[in-house]
A and B are shown apart, each in its own frame.
Chain A
């Protein structure tokens, strides 16, 4: 007997409710353990459901929810488990569990420890709803739910950590941090909302075309009902806007680097491993639509390619240990979009899987370093950390090798598959992908050398003379993730390397696969090119390291201010809309004033009558007399006139 699907989101949701409503029941670290336990239980459910998968996708419907949005019926809340969602559920609960565990140590000194875990649990619940939803609106629930969780967690330190301090300087710094954190949270939510509008419009159009928003129903309707291609293309473009917003792709990318204002486990879980990949999931889930919309797919691929390039360029000269990783996430997500855009859904999802491992690993390692250096995040004030934190150093090295695409680590297999798919269909995108691979290896090499190698430079800034190694609770997730980042690649060894495409054929049962037509010799060539790109990038970083020129990466200000995208948006969108809001307010009060003056003018003749109301009783008596006299006179005249 398999556990029911709704248990997956329900378990973390119970954790969230308990921790929010009865925080006092969980003193000390009990809340953290409860939350971790809930995710662990959800992971067990996910594993059981994964093992018990039948040939047909499971669909479990709960209750009616939205009016008229299924085919001639009301839409129900329902969960859907096929190979794709089973895999996503495993990633979310598995990596989520590890990051929860890590947070118990990482957040242990925070005053709002219990609330942090409540929010994390809420996030996992929403993410599970997102991937298990059997209809677009339900997916949208998770979609906005994770946005909400992301908002809460980016703004977790909303008032700044030192703002209640009595020391003036610490207080001022805390206030500034509070404003920055709050702004980052708000920016993330609003930019996500722009994407959400696209998602919503996509749903509206799909409903108009097919009359249902249930995904399985849509999948069958798409085959049966023929509609104008333009309509499907437009719907796919709308969905793409949604995916862009959630996954931080161009042009809605600038919130993701700012989101690093949240605690590091949040960056690892939400802004690297799971939430930001929701866009990739959405497009993969809607593959049956994108297959009918070649132009929209091409757009997806180009958005991905350009974002990959953008993220890599912006990462070259960052100085914040987390910002480098954030831009790297942007860039890697671009790879995934590129893959799903050219129809290589399996390659995209595989990269999602391996990226979840190595990026979570890198973030958690960065968090350990930040902790050891008492919240110092500037890589220029680190260096030589391998002496102090040998274990973290090794796992970070594994992460860097994985993301740089060095064989045998997972990034090599997944990135190679994407590049091969791009080579087949869009050679220009392939070239971009290859350049990005070189840049990726370089900036990750720079990250590695600045943090771990060379001499320790942090003493003056941080006052920490001897950073301590991470504790055991921190090491366990790091170790497991490092093992994953190393071994996950072997799930999908391509044929020409003697493998069986195990992952592709598993996912292929849910998402149809494109046939591989590349000759083995070409494949070899591509693989060698990919490896070369990684090696060149790392060597470049190493040579710069030897020359002590890594502090400032290439491209200077252009890169460190993220290609000025933020400034452009602030000038073009944010400032004008604030201005318009002010102007409209004036207009609104003005409209009011206009109507007011019309009414005053209309009321003016009424003033004449008030003269009559003199307040003198005797004047009223005269009026009455005159009035009576007038009436009598009228009748008298009439009587006389008629000769009566």
Chain B
């Protein structure tokens, strides 16, 4: 009996520790606030944009899944479409220095021009702090936050988890779906999916 109580406590302790470690953004809950420096050297704070929809896009320019959406122009089209409607769009780069996708501010600015990308800003997150806050697993993982700063979508960009450009045409885009449905006053039909893509290249020391 004494043993079993001890073990139950141990299990509870491990579970608590795990929960704390894993506390991150969740659909239906408040989006964790953050402040970050963009490639244009401006500082952006998430909660300064309360009252607007915000899209977060995890980015790594060497990832073939990201390449699919940029080479096809799909991501740029989404950025233009939604920022044109007053939505804030943050591209977030959580690659650590020396890892795939890591860029300096000037490299990212060149990339944005070359790719004709149009996010509100590209946020540099080389420590992985914002990535961890949102438990970002992949690029291109997408998060949609509503004007009350609640996460209303977290997951894949669409329902075709491949690197094939030809799959974009027939795909259901989950970011569009979430934004269109919520703006029409409807429930978001698909609020969470597996965020397909390349693993986010966090610093090695992070656990």
Are A and B bound to each other? no
